[in-house]
Every structure is written in C-alpha cells, then in structure tokens.
Chain A
Amino acid sequence: MDSALIPKGVKRCSIGQFILGIGLVGVVLLWGVFAMLLCWLKGLNQTNMNNAYGFAMWIWADLAVIALGGGAFFTGFLRYIIGKDELKNIINYAVLIGFICYSSALLILAIDVGQPLRGWFIFWHANVHSMLTEVAFCITCYFGVLCIEYVPLVLENRQIDKVPFFHNLSHNMHEIMAIFAATGTFLSFFHQGSLGGVPGVLFGRPFGFREGVFIWPWTFFLFIWSAAAAGPCFTILVTKITEAVTRKKLVKDNVIELLAKISGWMLLTYSIAKIADTWQWATATAPSKGFNLMDFYSNNPLYGIWVLILEIGICGVLPAIILVSNKGRKTAGALWAAVILASLGVCLNRWVMVLQVLAVPVLPFTNWNMYAPSWQEVATTILPVAYGVILIMFSYRYLPIFPQEQELNPVEPPAPQEQQAVSKPETPSDAQEAELKPAEA
C-alpha cells in the first residue's frame, strides 16, 4: 500500500504490522496526552511539586534528554568540524535522536510552564542575569538547527525527492550543513554548560555549590563534558535497539567502534575530572559551608553513599574502561553494558544535581525533603518516549536514515546471468525498478 514511499532497495514490515506497532505505542502516547491536558486545564496542582520542589521530575527529564541528545551536536562536531568521515553513516540517526530529545525537552517545558501561552515571555521579557534565560535561548535556537538538519532527510523521501525544488533544497542544505553543525555546537556548548551552572551557583545549597573559573562553576564544564561523552553512547544504544527490533545490521561495526572509542575517552576523562571535582567539594568546598560529606548521604530513606558510587564508579569509570579497550568495544555484550551504564550514569547525574540538591536540608532545624512524582508527572514524562518511538518508526520506514542498510542487507541475491539476459529491461530506470518487487521495495 505504501511501497512507493519506502526507500529503494530496503525491506520493511507489512503496513498492517506497522499500523499495529504505531497503535500500541499510540495508547501510551494518548495516556501522556491525557495527563498533559489535565496539567494544562486544571493546573500544576496535578503534580507533587511544592515550595521545596519547584524543580521536579520534569526538570530532571529535561536535563536528562538534553544530555542524551548531546550525541547530535557532538557527532555533528566530529563529522563536520573535525572531519571524521566514517560518522556520515550514523549522523542521520544521531540527528533524529537529537531532534526527538530536544523537541521532548521543549514539550516538557511547555507543560512545566503551567501557562504555555506565556512561553514567549522568556524571550521578550528576558531576565538577563539568569543562566536559565541563556538555556531557553540556546535550546530554542538549537532546536531550529536540529529541524534544519532533519528536514533534508525528510526531503530525501523517495516521492518528495522527485520534486526538483525539494531535491535542490535538500542538496543545498547538505552543502552548507557544516555551518549549521558549527552553530549547533556553539549553542549546545552554552546551554549544556548553563544547565550545569545552575546548581553550581546555588551558594545557599552546599550540595550543589561549586567553585570555578570567573562566573562559571566547575559543574558548567562537567555538564558539557558528560553530555559529549554520554550522548554518543545513547546514539549507539538506540542504534543497537533498532537493530535488535528490526533484526538487521544497520551500521557497520567500524562506525560504531569509532564512536564508542571517542565516547570512551571522553567518558574516562570526564570521570577523572568528576572524581577530582567531588574530592575538592567533599574536602574543601562543603566543609567551608559547614557540611561534611556524609551529611549529604545519611538520615534519609533514599540517598545513601551508594548514589555517589553508582554514578561515578559503576556508571562512569566502568563503562569508560570498557569503551577505551579494543576488546570491550568488539564484544557485543560488553558494548551493550557500557552504553546502557553510560546513559544511566548521565541520567543519574542529572537526578542528583536537580532532585538531591533540593532534598538535602540546608538549616540545622530542617529535615530532608523527599519527593515522589504524581502519575500525571510520570505519564507526561513517558509521553516523549512514546512520541520518540513513533517518530523513529516513521523515519525508519520512509526515510533513508541508514546509508549502509542496503549494502548490509541485500534484498535478494543477484540473479544468474542467463536469467538476466532473458529478462533484460529496456531502459536503465526500468532496470532499477525491476530489481525489486513492489512489496519488497
């Protein structure tokens, strides 16, 4: 039914299976939309946020997806600025994942604002002393860049590409993509950093407060570093999940290994910097504010010292060691474990820097503020995941996301010479069409 829209030379599931898949994920999406409408129509009383938790699950989700979407800017930087040409085979998917992550972040913010009709206030009535204003500016502009990077992929759809204007537009956008990639890197550098800078400048909350350089606390640089390290790991993870679901190899091993190796070194150097930062904070910064390290990890039902060990050791150093070793990258199980741990690690880091900062008591007579999200918060946080899965399903089906797919998964073996001579098509275009049956195309 939709075979004319599917890229040439690749095989896709039947339209029935596809619609069934969309339907299943669509149910989850609708649940999230229902919760979103509740928040918009009834207000933020639908959440468990309160005076202690002005930042809650949504802000954690925002920071986490922005870090995980960092694969788009860092892979683009490596591909277009540094010139790692092999990464052209995964850059499309990195852009798609980045597009999903950043559109999700903006969607969550639109719910979190409470009155989305006033969303434009941050641009027109900007507080120019707030790091979050810079974050809003940069995220919005970078989402524009991601749209520009995603549009050529859409224009490469088999039918859209037949229109000369769209074909030329896609070609021209590819030609100057390096400019957009450089702009994206510039914007990502600042918004990832500013998100880290927010807890770092909270001098009234010693759990988050850090020293630094000029106006930037160390968390500013650590957030950029961790996003550049874990973002590509998430790109690899989603690629591997897509390969497992489609039961196809979509990207060659050398491409995955190159990205994994770069991620591994980024993660290793980040882990060393994070350990140094933690040591300085635990032995000098926090004591100067009247706190000991264990004050942040005791007398509460959730946050033990295990959080620190899990974040830095198990989800930081361990995957880094796996990814920098040649054997680790080449072993499928180890690679899976490393990219899962690295992705979890950056999410845990964002949780700690958003939620634990607010949980820790700052005065001798106050207690820990514990928080559990409401079902509306959970549903609206799962909503972008369902939306992302649906967008990946559509993009994979109708767009040439993986340039190596055709080579790695030939649809049918070449016909014997005799048979070819008998059924030789008359024109070259006929020959292309004749290679595939419509259903297979």
Chain B
Amino acid sequence: MLPFSFEWIWDMSHLVFHGGLWYALSIIGMGITFCILKAAYDTYKGKGSHHP
C-alpha cells in the first residue's frame, strides 16, 4: 500500500509497517541494481573476460 492509496491513513501503524517494508525493499532493490550496473560497467571495461 502506498500513501496515495485511498485506504492509506497517516498513523503510526501504517508508517511503521509500510515504512519497514519500503526500507527493506529499498535496500534490496538498490543493492541488486548496483551489482547489475557495476557488472555491466566491468564487462564493458573488459574485466572478467580473461576468465576461463
């Protein structure tokens, strides 16, 4: 649920539950995005291409 959803209420329960969910999803999402982008950059630079 996001704040623009009609069910959303600005209270502590919604902030704690959904804040925690978004926090965890953000870390996971940013972490994996960083890995993919860096892997693409490294591959572009020729890193790892000598690997058998």
Spell out A's residues near B (CB within 8 Å): 123-126, 128-129, 133-134, 137-138, 141, 144-145, 148, 161-162, 164-169, 171-173, 176, 179-180, 183, 186-187, 190, 429, 432
Contact = CB atoms under 8 A, between A and B. Distances in A.
28 contacts: A123-B21, A124-B1, A128-B14, A128-B16, A129-B13, A134-B20, A137-B20, A141-B24, A141-B25, A141-B28, A144-B25, A144-B28, A145-B28, A148-B28, A164-B51, A167-B48, A167-B51, A168-B43, A168-B48, A169-B36, A171-B48, A172-B42, A179-B31, A183-B27, A183-B28, A186-B24, A190-B20, A432-B52
Contacts of A173: 32, 35
Contacts of B27: 179, 183
Given A124-B5, A137-B17, A183 B24 contact: yes
Interface of A is mostly: helix
B47 A141 contact: no
B46 to A, nearest CB: 8
Interface of B: 1, 5, 7, 13-14, 16-18, 20-21, 24-25, 27-28, 31-32, 34-36, 38-40, 42-43, 46-49, 51-52
Contacts, number: 85
A137 B51 CA distance: 39
A128 B28 contact: no
Contacts of B40: 165
A424 to B, nearest CB: 19
A168 B16 CA distance: 37
A307 B19 CA distance: 41
Contacts of A133: 17
B52 A126 contact: no
A187 B24 contact: yes
B42 to A, nearest CB: 4
